[in-house]
Structure 1
Amino acid sequence: MTLAQAIADYHALLEPALAIDSWQRLTEEMRARQLYFGERPLATVLRPRLITASQYDLLRRGTQQVAEAARAIVAAALESSELGQEVRDVLMLTPLEERLIAMHPGYLEPSAHSRMDTFLTVDGTSLQFVEYNAESPAAIAYEDLLTQAFLAMPVMTEFMKRYALTTLPARQYMLRTLLDCWQAAGSPGHEPRVAIVDWHGLPTATEFEMFRRYFTEHGLPTVICAPQDLSFRDGQLLAPTPEGSDMPVTIVFKRVLTSEFLSHYGEEALTHPLVQAYATGACVIVNSFRAKLLHKKSLFALLSDERFHDPLTAAQRAAVAAHVPWTRVVRPGITTYQHELIDLLPFVRKNRERFLLKPNDEYGGKGITIGWEASADEWDAALQAALTSPFVVQERVTIAYEPYPALIDGQVVISERLVDSDPFLFGTEVNGCLCRLSTVTLLNVTAGGGSTVPVFIIEDSPASGAGDDSL
C-alpha cells in the first residue's frame, strides 16, 4: 500500500449519494460539537489527513530534536553572560518581557505545551519547520472533537472496512501537563483549580468551553475568564464563576498572548493580579512567561546560525540542518548564507523569490510579505518597513500539497490544497497533530481561509475499528 493509493481509494468511495450523506453528517456533528472558529465551520472538506506510521515517526523525531535544540540554545538567555546577551539580542525581547521572564515559573520547562508548524510532503521526503508556536497554541481540543465528527461520516465507515486507522487524541496530555506543572511548583493552594484566561469575544472561545467541560469531567474544577476578571486577595488568585462567586485559582491555562497582555496593561502589567499571584507562587501559569524565549520568530535565526550551535548534539545539529529554514533578523550587516558571507539587506532585496518577511511576534499571518508573490517595489517597501520594527527574513521551504475533496453544488470536487502538519508537543515529546489546508500560500485559519481536518495514522491491514478511541 502507498499513501497515494489509499487516498485514491478514499476518493473513489465518494459517489454522489455517499458524499452528500457524509457531508450532511459531518455538518451535523460539527454543529453538535461547536466545531467553529467564530462563525466558520472548522472543516470544509470530506477527507481527513492520512499519514503513515513512518511519516508520524519522522514528524515526532524531527520535531523533538529541533525542540530540544531550541531549548539548549535559549537557555543562555537566562544567564548574564556575553552569550546570553547575544541570544537576547537576536530574540529582541522587550524590557517588560525581560522582567516577566526573570520570574521563576515554579517548574523547569520553558514551554510545557507547544506546536511546531511544519510542511510534511505526502511522500515523506521533506519535513520543513516554519514557526514554533511555543506560547499559546490552539486546536488540541478542536482536533480531538473533529476526529469524532469525521469518524461519524458514512464514507469513513466504508474506508475503514479496508484500512485500519489510529487516532491521535491529545486532550489527556494537556490535562496531565497542567497537573504536572502544578505539582512541580509544590502544589500551590493544595488543590488544583483552573482558570482558562484570554480576552472575551474571541473566535477560539468554543475551544475554551471544550477544555472546560473536559477538565471538569475529569475532576478538575475550571472556569473561563478574561485578565480583567481576575483579582488577588489574601494570597489567592480569584476568578469569577458563572454563579457569581469567586473561585480560588491555582493553575492558569494561559491562552492570552504575553504581547497582547503587555500591550493592554503596559507597566501596570507587572502589578496585575495574574502577575502578582505568579510572582508569589500562589499559582502556576501554563505556559509561563518564559515561553516567550521559544515563541519569537527569531528563534529560527538562532537555530539556523552555526554561531549558536555549541550546546547542540550531533543529532540535534543534523535535525536543524534538515528541517529548519535559514532565518535572520532584519537589520544591516554581514552574515552567512549557505556558508558564504553576504551583506544581508542587499542580498535579500535582490533575491526576493527565495524569501519571506515576518514580524517577530505576531500570529494569524499578520504582517507577512511573501517575496515570490510580491513585486520588486512591494518587496523593497516591505523590507524598508521591516527595519523599523522587529522582523525576520526566512528562506522559502518546500510546501506540501495534497488533493482534497469538497462538496460543491452537490458535486464532489477534488483539488490541490496546501497542507500544514503541526504536531503538538508536551515538553519536547509529540502527541497529536493539527492539520490545516488552504488554497493560498498564507496557510492560517485565523487569517480567514482554509480548513482544519483531523490526522489519522493509516495501516494497510483489514480494520476492526478506528484504533485508539480514548477521546
Structure 2
Amino acid sequence: MNTNMETFNLLYKEVIEKDFEENLKTAKESLYYLDKSTAKYKGETIYSLYMAKAFPDDVVDYLKEASEIMYGLLKKVMNEYIEKEDYRKLFGFQQELEELILDVPPYQNILPIARLDIFLNEKDLSFKFCEFNADGCSSMNEDRELNIALQKTAAYKELSRDYEIESFELFETWVKEFMDIYKTYPDKVEQPNIGIVDFLEKGCSMEEFEEFKKSFQRAGHHAQICEIRDMKFDGEHLYAPDGTVIHAIYRRAVTSDIMEHFEEVEDFMNAVKNHKVCLIGSFCTQIIHNKILFYLLHCQRTQDFLDKEEIQFINRHIPYTVSLTEQEVFKNAVLDNKDKWIIKPEDSYGARGIFAGLHFSLEQWKKIVEENMDTCYILQEFVLPYQSFNIDFKKKEPKFRKYSNLTGMYVYNGKFAGIYSRQSEHEIISSQYDENDVASVKVSKKEVKSEDFN
C-alpha cells in the first residue's frame, strides 16, 4: 500500500470535513453504543476519540517484525537472568521476588504474553520503546468495542468504499496460544479448568475478563474469573472461590500487587510454589516489566550476549536510560536541561509517579528530581510523541486538533497479535492525564476489478 499513516490521517480528516454534520450525527450513535457497551474502566465508559488509528498493511508488517525482534531480545535477557547470578545482581530485586522469578515454569515459553508500547513517528516510522508489559497487559476489550462503534460512523462507511478496513482479533487468538502453551505443561489434564485471576477491586476490567471467559468457553474450555485472595489450597489442589479445582491460571494480577498483598494470597502462592497449578505467566516475567531494564539493555554486560544486529536495534530504539542518582543528574546536566528528561519509578504501571521535565518550572523540576534521587527511579531521555489529527465529538464545539500517540503491540506466545492505540492532548499518555482510547485498524487499498470499467 502506497498510502502512509500520515497521508491516511489527512485523508480521514478530509472525509469528515466534507460531511461534518453527518459525521456529528453518527458520532452520537457511536458514543451511545459505547455508553451501553462493555467498554468500561472502573465502571465508567472509557474516554475515546472519533477517528480510528489506521495502520497500512505494510506498516503492520513492519511493526510485526519489530515486536518479534524485541520479544526475542527480552527472552534472551530473561534466560540470562535465570542462568547467571552476576547478571541477576544488576536488577537488584529483593530476595523474596528473586526466588519467585527463579522458579521457572515447566512449559515451553517463559514469556507467554506481552504488550510492547512504542512512540511511533508516523512520518518516517522511526520509533522508541516506552514500556514493556507482560501478564497484566490489557485493553483488548476496549479495542474490540471501539471497533464495533467505529463501524457506525459515516467516515468509516465512506472510507470502506475504497479501503479494506480490518480490526485485530485479540481474544480467540490468545485462547489458542494459551492452550498451546498449556499443552507443553508436564502435568496437564485433558479438560483443564482455567482461572482468570486478579485483585478484582484494583481497577481491573471485569468486562474484559468476562469476554476472555466467553472466548475460552466458545473454544470448549471451562473458565471462570477468580478473586486471587479468595482462592484456597489444600496441599494438592487450588480451588476457585466457588470450590472448583483450577488447573491453569491466566494471571492478570501484576507482580507488584501480589508482593504488596503477599500475606493475603498465601493459598494461591503455596499452590504456585508447590507446582500444583499451571501459572501462565510465571513470575519470571517481572524481569521485563521493571524499567531498570531500559538501562541494562545499554550496558556492556547485556550486550555481551547479544549479536551485532540486536545491539544496533537497541541503540536505535531504546531511549538512553540511567539510574536517577546524584552523580547521573550532575553528569547529564539534568537540572539545566529539564525538557530533555523524564523520570519514572523502576516498577509501576499506569504512568504512576512519572514526571516529564517540560511539564514543570525549573524550580519545581529541581525539587522533584532531588526528592526522587537514589529512591529506585530511572532517568530517561524524553521522547516527544508524534502527533496526528483527531476530533472529540463529545465537546460542545468539536474541532480537529493534534494528539500525541502511543502504540502498543500485542505479542502472544511469540507471535504478533495486534495493536492498541492511545492518544492524549499532553505528552504523557495515561489515565492519570487525559488518555483517550482509539480503535486500531489495518487498512489496505481495495483492488479495482476489471468489471468496474465495463
Compute the TM-score of the two structures, normalised by the length of structure 2: 0.91
With over 3 angstroms needed to count, the CA separation of the structure-2 counterparts of 1:108 and 1:331, relative to structure 1, is farther
CA–CA separation in structure 2 for the residues paired with 1:230 and 1:55: 44
CA contact (8 A) 1:424 1:431 kept: yes
Residue number in structure 1 paired with 2:14: 12
Deviations 1:279-328 (A, max 9, x none): 23222222211100111011111112344201112221121111111111
Report 1:394-405 matches (<5 A).
394-405=380-391
Given the alignment, which residue of 58, 69, 80 partners 2:62? Answer: 58
CA contact (8 A) 1:165 1:456 kept: yes
Residue number in structure 2 paired with 1:235: 236
| Range with bigger deviation, 300-309 or 418-427 | 300-309
Query: Secondary structure at the residue paired with 2:150?
Result: helix
CA–CA separation in structure 2 for the residues paired with 1:352 and 1:187: 54
CA–CA separation in structure 2 for the residues paired with 1:186 and 1:30: 43
Query: Secondary structure at the residue paired with 1:184?
Result: coil
Q: How far is the alpha carbon of 1:44 from its aligned partner?
A: 2.6
Residue number in structure 2 paired with 1:44: 48
CA–CA separation in structure 2 for the residues paired with 1:363 and 1:377: 27
Deviations 1:389-416 (A, max 9, x none): 2111110124111000221456541110
Q: How far is the alpha carbon of 1:99 from its aligned partner?
A: 1.8
CA contact (8 A) 1:68 1:316 kept: no
AA of the residue aligned to 1:13:
V
CA–CA separation in structure 2 for the residues paired with 1:303 and 1:428: 20
AA of the residue aligned to 1:450:
E
Given the alignment, which residue of 264, 272, 286 partners 2:261? Answer: 264
AA of the residue aligned to 2:434:
G
Report 1:259-338 matches (<5 A).
259-266=256-263, 272-331=266-325
AA of the residue aligned to 2:419:
C
| Range with bigger deviation, 127-136 or 274-283 | 274-283
| Range with bigger deviation, 159-168 or 12-21 | 12-21
Matched, 1:248 2:249: no
CA–CA separation in structure 2 for the residues paired with 1:463 and 1:454: 27
What number of residue pairs does the alignment pair up? 444
With over 3 angstroms needed to count, the CA separation of the structure-2 counterparts of 1:6 and 1:77, relative to structure 1, is closer
| Range with bigger deviation, 431-440 or 96-105 | 96-105
Structure 1 residues not aligned, in runs of 5+: 334-341, 465-471
Structure 2 residues not aligned, in runs of 5+: 450-454
Report 1:150-299 matches (<5 A).
150-201=150-201, 202-233=203-234, 235-240=236-241, 245-266=242-263, 272-299=266-293
Query: Secondary structure at the residue paired with 1:320?
Result: helix
AA of the residue aligned to 2:243:
D
With over 3 angstroms needed to count, the CA separation of the structure-2 counterparts of 1:417 and 1:458, relative to structure 1, is same
CA–CA separation in structure 2 for the residues paired with 1:100 and 1:27: 44
Deviations 1:3-38 (A, max 9, x none): 444333322333243213321221233234311212
CA–CA separation in structure 2 for the residues paired with 1:443 and 1:252: 30
Q: How far is the alpha carbon of 1:440 from its aligned partner?
A: 1.2
CA contact (8 A) 1:188 1:283 kept: no
Deviations 1:416-450 (A, max 9, x none): 001111100123332101100111122013x2522
With over 3 angstroms needed to count, the CA separation of the structure-2 counterparts of 1:39 and 1:276, relative to structure 1, is closer
Residue number in structure 2 paired with 1:337: none
Q: How far is the alpha carbon of 1:80 from its aligned partner?
A: 4.5
| Range with bigger deviation, 206-215 or 147-156 | 147-156
Compute the TM-score of the two structures, normalised by the length of structure 1: 0.87
Percent sequence identity is 18
Matched, 1:140 2:140: yes
With over 3 angstroms needed to count, the CA separation of the structure-2 counterparts of 1:138 and 1:238, relative to structure 1, is same
With over 3 angstroms needed to count, the CA separation of the structure-2 counterparts of 1:370 and 1:147, relative to structure 1, is same
Query: Secondary structure at the residue paired with 2:393?
Result: strand
Report 1:22-37 matches (<5 A).
22-37=26-41
Query: Secondary structure at the residue paired with 2:422?
Result: strand
CA–CA separation in structure 2 for the residues paired with 1:353 and 1:368: 14
CA–CA separation in structure 2 for the residues paired with 1:41 and 1:54: 33
With over 3 angstroms needed to count, the CA separation of the structure-2 counterparts of 1:177 and 1:376, relative to structure 1, is same
CA–CA separation in structure 1 for the residues paired with 2:251 and 2:193: 13
CA contact (8 A) 1:365 1:444 kept: yes
CA contact (8 A) 1:118 1:127 kept: yes
Residue number in structure 2 paired with 1:347: 333
Deviations 1:366-389 (A, max 9, x none): 111112222233222222232342
Deviations 1:181-221 (A, max 9, x none): 32221243442221111122325222112212222222221
CA contact (8 A) 1:239 1:249 kept: yes
CA–CA separation in structure 2 for the residues paired with 1:147 and 1:117: 20
Q: How far is the alpha carbon of 1:137 from its aligned partner?
A: 0.4
With over 3 angstroms needed to count, the CA separation of the structure-2 counterparts of 1:92 and 1:411, relative to structure 1, is same
Residue number in structure 1 paired with 2:452: none
CA–CA separation in structure 1 for the residues paired with 2:301 and 2:336: 25
Query: Secondary structure at the residue paired with 1:13?
Result: helix
With over 3 angstroms needed to count, the CA separation of the structure-2 counterparts of 1:366 and 1:43, relative to structure 1, is closer
| Range with bigger deviation, 252-261 or 103-112 | 103-112
CA–CA separation in structure 2 for the residues paired with 1:265 and 1:176: 31
CA contact (8 A) 1:70 1:299 kept: no
CA contact (8 A) 1:151 1:157 kept: yes
AA of the residue aligned to 1:456:
V
